Structure 1
Amino acid sequence: MTEHIQAIFIRESETRSQPKPHTVYKIEVHAAVRNWIVWKRYSEFAKLNSRFLTIFPKNRPPVPLPSKHIFPSTFSDPDRIEDRRRGLEDYLRGMLSSRDDRWRQTELWKEFLAIPTGRQLDGQAHYTSESWLDEYNAMNSTAREIRSLINKRATHMGRDEISASHNCTMQAKKLLITLSSRTSALESGLTGLANGSFFQGLMSDGELRRRQDMLSTLKDERDTLMRLVNTGRQEQELLYNKPTSQSPTAALQQQKQQQQQRAKETEWTRGLDNGGLLTQQQQLMEDQDQQVEQFSSILSRQRQLGIAIGDELETQSQILDELDGDVGRTQTKLKFASKKLGKIK
Structure 2
Amino acid sequence: MSEVDISIRSYSTDPTPKPHTVYHVQIRLPLRSYTVSKRFSDFLKLASDMEDTIGESIPFKLPRRQLFGNSVTNTELIEERRGVLEKFLRDLQKSSDQRWRLSDPWRDFIGLSATGRASQGSSLLSSSSTNASLVMPSGKNISDPVVWLDTLHEVKTLLHEARKYLSDRDMLSGTGSVNKNGVLESHSAAAEAKKCLVQSGTKVVMLDRGLKELATSVGQGELRRRGDMLNLVKKEREGLESLASTISRNTDALNSTASESPDRAALFAGNKGVLGSVASSAKRVLGPLTETSETRQLDNRGLLNLQMQKMQNQEDSLLEFSKILARQKQLGIDINDELELQNEMLRMLEDDVENSDGKLRRADRQLKKIK
TM-score range, shorter chain: 0.3 to 0.5
Q: TM-score, normalised by structure 1?
A: 0.39
Relative CO higher for 1 or 2, CA cutoff 8 Å, sep ≥ 6? Answer: 1
Q: TM-score, normalised by structure 2?
A: 0.37
Larger Rg: 1
